[in-house]
């Protein structure tokens, strides 16, 4: 399955448009060395094995995830793995999201959107520009538990 196939399979036109908009803003602003594809049954951007051969410490066969978009049961979710590795960026994102939309439905790094007006596409674009692949990998490798490091 390709990312285009994933989007085409979304039956709800509002959800399909939400996923499309999120994908477009991420693609326009993300460090181009991240790769786009299907990862964990959603659209994902990740560090290719060619750049980081060790892969994701939880499953080295998988590339290190950075960002994902999923059409979930009751919402569209933005899986911002990049927020796991930098508390300052997480704090900035939470504060800005609430200021711009008035609401934030978020777990550790999963932002849930039930309606298009809950999304701040501009903010998501800014988030993509805040973290380069090199910065992400530096934070990521520093956060890997010693028992998982190769």
Q: What is the CATH number of the domain that holds 53?
A: 3.90.1150.200
For residue 150, the model assigns a pLDDT of 57
- pLDDT digits 0-9 by tens, 64-77: 999 999 999 899 99
Q: Is the pLDDT of residue 14 over 80?
A: yes
- pLDDT digits 0-9 by tens, 44-97: 999 999 999 999 998 999 999 999 999 998 999 999 998 887 889 999 999 999
* pTM of the full structure: 0.93
The number of folded domains in the chain is 1
Q: Is the pLDDT of residue 133 over 90?
A: yes
* Average predicted confidence (pLDDT) for the chain: 93
Q: At what angle do helices 121-130 and 13-29 cross, to 10 degrees?
A: 30
Q: Which residues contact 70 (CB under 8 A, 6 or more apart)?
A: 41, 42, 43, 76, 77, 79
For residue 86, the model assigns a pLDDT of 82
Of 135, 150, 149, residue with least CA distance to 85: 135
Report the percentage of the chain scoring pLDDT > 90.
85
**Range of the structural domain that residue 12 is part of:** 3-148
């Amino acid at each position: 399955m390709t990312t285009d196939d994933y989007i085409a399979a979304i039956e709800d036109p509002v959800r399909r448009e939400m996923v499309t908009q999120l994908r477009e803003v991420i693609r326009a602003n993300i460090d181009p060395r991240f790769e786009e594809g299907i990862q964990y049954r959603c659209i994902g951007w990740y560090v290719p094995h060619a750049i980081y051969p060790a892969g994701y410490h939880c499953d080295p066969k998988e590339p290190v995830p950075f960002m994902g978009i999923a059409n979930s049961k009751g919402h569209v979710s933005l899986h911002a793995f990049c927020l796991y590795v930098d508390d300052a960026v997480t704090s900035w994102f939470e504060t800005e999201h609430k200021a711009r939309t008035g609401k934030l439905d978020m777990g550790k790094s999963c932002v849930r959107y039930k309606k298009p007006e809950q999304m701040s596409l501009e903010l998501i674009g800014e988030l993509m520009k805040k973290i380069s692949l090199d910065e992400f990998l530096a934070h990521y490798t520093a956060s890997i538990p010693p028992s998982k490091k190769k």
